[in-house]
């Protein structure tokens, strides 16, 4: 731990110790570990001068860093005042930071595809649009975060991106050299092409879609995630195929509605997952029924049986059990929450739809990752 005073300067050491408790608000690691503290000086009267280097000059959370550093140092016994100077990292310092954050991983390697990764990756898929896939993704993500899990969401629906609005995210990502720090809402880190498109439509074809998804997985600093959700575009096109190629150990959650037409199309999304050697973790039937506002009885607005039809057909095709994980009832507040950036599980946690989604998140969050691609640390015994 560097100091500007003598090695016996207890106050200087105490200030450095206090700074180890200050986390960068985007990276969520101590600023001392990230080499952001350039210097600490203690005057004879106990006044402390601290210089902190921001990752970029336009850091959107500079005021948060200013407040946290000032409060942490000011609380050290013997400190009479704090003067904080904010500087900016040089290009070489940013490169060193990127290397440290990547842990020596090659730039183009997807961290979630590594054999030692403990992150559960779920692609949220649907055969057609309009089944509420993004609403399910957002509310699942927030519910998982409420359990204390570290959660990330990739809005991989390049053409119809909507996740940032649904999460109420207005801040953009912060570039640190070639690395991107994703914004966060409700404890969920999120990245979307909408943060880069500037409101313009995206008109990319296959290779560019693949590259965009790859960048979201490689160039974004996600940290140590417990769960990563990818809101996939409807259908069985380029992005779904790219996910299978980039993260072959990812699992698929198929979202459908009770409609027979929607169920038939949803089945295809599961079949494509099998072709890419991904496991279909289960089916979520959204808009399953509407509670009558007068008597409380269930009204099957979109028919019934669609979710069970998909699970039955997929089980027969894939050769293994595909569970119907949840049946989410219709709730106008689910749509309103998406429009307002206030997820249903946050504003109306006791509503029937929110309770179903939170229960599903609890089951998904507690599932073990399985043994696929993981080392068992077994050593062969000679002569056995």
Q: Please list, in sequence order, all residues whose beta carbon lies within 8 angstroms of the beta carbon of residue 134, skipping any fewer than 6 positions away.
A: 155, 157, 162, 163, 166, 231, 338
The burial of 137, by beta-carbon neighbours within 10 Å (0-12 exposed, 13-18 middle, 19 or more buried), is given as buried
- DSSP result, 116-165: T---EEEEEE-SSSSS-HHHHHHHHHHHHHHTT--EEEEE--SSS--HHH
Distance CA 16, CA 37 (A): 9
Centre a 10 Å sphere on the Cβ of residue 54 and count the other Cβ atoms it contains: 20
- The residues of the chain that CATH labels 3.30.300.130 are 10-102
pLDDT in tens, 345-363: 999 999 999 999 999 999 9
Specify whether the CB–CB gap between 180 and 220 falls below 8 A.
yes
Q: Please list, in sequence order, all residues whose beta carbon lies within 8 angstroms of the beta carbon of residue 11, skipping any fewer than 6 positions away.
A: 42, 46, 76, 78, 79
Distance CA 94, CA 88 (A): 9
Q: Which residues of 254-271 are buried (b: 16+ CB within 10 A; e: fewer)?
A: bbbbbbeebbbbbbbbbe
pLDDT in tens, 143-168: 999 999 999 999 988 888 899 999 99
- The residues of the chain that CATH labels 3.40.50.300 are 116-366
Q: Taking the C-alpha atoms of 119, 160, 212 and 175 in order, what is their torsion angle to the nearest 10 degrees?
A: -80
Which residues partner with 120 through β-bridges? 227
Distance CA 79, CA 71 (A): 11
C-alpha 18: how far from chain center? 29
> For the domain 116-366, what is the CATH code?
3.40.50.300
| Secondary element (H or E) of residue 51 | strand 47-54
Distance CA 63, CA 108 (A): 33
Centre a 10 Å sphere on the Cβ of residue 303 and count the other Cβ atoms it contains: 15
Spell out the per-residue pLDDT of the chain, length 384, in tens. Answer: 444 444 337 899 999 999 999 998 888 889 999 899 999 999 999 999 999 998 876 676 788 999 999 999 999 999 999 999 999 888 788 878 877 776 665 556 788 988 888 999 999 998 888 889 999 999 999 999 999 999 999 998 888 889 999 999 988 888 887 788 999 999 999 999 888 876 666 666 667 888 888 889 988 999 899 999 999 988 777 888 888 888 988 999 999 988 877 777 778 888 887 788 888 999 999 998 887 777 777 777 776 788 888 888 888 888 888 999 999 999 989 989 999 999 999 999 999 999 999 999 999 988 655 444 444 444 444 444
Domain 10-102: what homologous superfamily? Fe-S cluster assembly (FSCA) (3.30.300.130)
Specify whether the CB–CB gap between 243 and 205 falls below 8 A.
no
């Amino acid at each position: 731990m560097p100091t500007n005073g003598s090695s016996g300067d207890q106050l200087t050491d105490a200030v450095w110790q206090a700074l180890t408790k200050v986390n960068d608000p985007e990276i969520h690691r101590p600023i001392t570990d990230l080499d952001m503290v350039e210097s600490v000086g203690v005057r004879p009267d106990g006044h402390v001068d601290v210089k902190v280097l921001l990752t970029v000059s336009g850091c959107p959370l500079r005021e948060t860093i200013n407040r946290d550093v000032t409060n942490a140092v000011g609380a050290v016994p013997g400190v009479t005042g704090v003067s904080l100077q904010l500087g900016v990292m040089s290009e070489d310092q940013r490169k060193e930071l990127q290397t440290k954050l990547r842990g020596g991983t090659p730039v183009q390697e997807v961290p979630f595809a590594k054999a030692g990764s403990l992150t559960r990756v779920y692609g949220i898929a649907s055969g057609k649009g309009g089944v509420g896939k993004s609403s399910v993704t957002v509310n699942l993500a927030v519910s998982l975060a409420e359990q204390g899990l570290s959660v990330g969401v990739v809005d991989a629906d390049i053409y119809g991106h909507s996740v940032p609005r649904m999460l109420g995210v207005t801040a953009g990502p912060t570039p640190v050299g070639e690395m991107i720090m994703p914004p966060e809402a409700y404890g969920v880190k999120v990245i979307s092409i909408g943060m880069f498109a500037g409101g313009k439509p995206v008109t990319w074809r296959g290779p560019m879609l693949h590259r965009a998804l790859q960048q979201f997985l490689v160039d974004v600093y996600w940290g140590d995630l417990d769960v990563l959700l990818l809101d996939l575009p409807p259908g069985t096109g380029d992005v779904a195929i790219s996910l299978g190629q980039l993260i072959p150990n990812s699992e698929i959650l198929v979202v459908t509605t009770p409609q027979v037409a929607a169920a038939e199309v949803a089945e295809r999304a599961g079949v494509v997952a099998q072709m890419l050697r991904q496991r279909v973790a289960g089916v979520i039937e959204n808009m399953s029924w509407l509670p009558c506002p007068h008597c409380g009885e269930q009204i099957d607005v979109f028919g019934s049986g669609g979710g069970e039809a998909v699970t039955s057909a997929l089980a027969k095709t894939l050769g293994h059990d595909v569970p119907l994980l949840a049946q989410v009832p219709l709730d106008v507040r689910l749509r309103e929450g998406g429009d307002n950036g206030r997820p249903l599980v946050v504003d109306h946690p006791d509503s029937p739809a929110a309770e179903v989604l939170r229960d599903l998140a609890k089951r998904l969050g507690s599932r073990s990752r399985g043994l696929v691609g993981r080392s068992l640390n077994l050593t062969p015994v000679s002569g056995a």
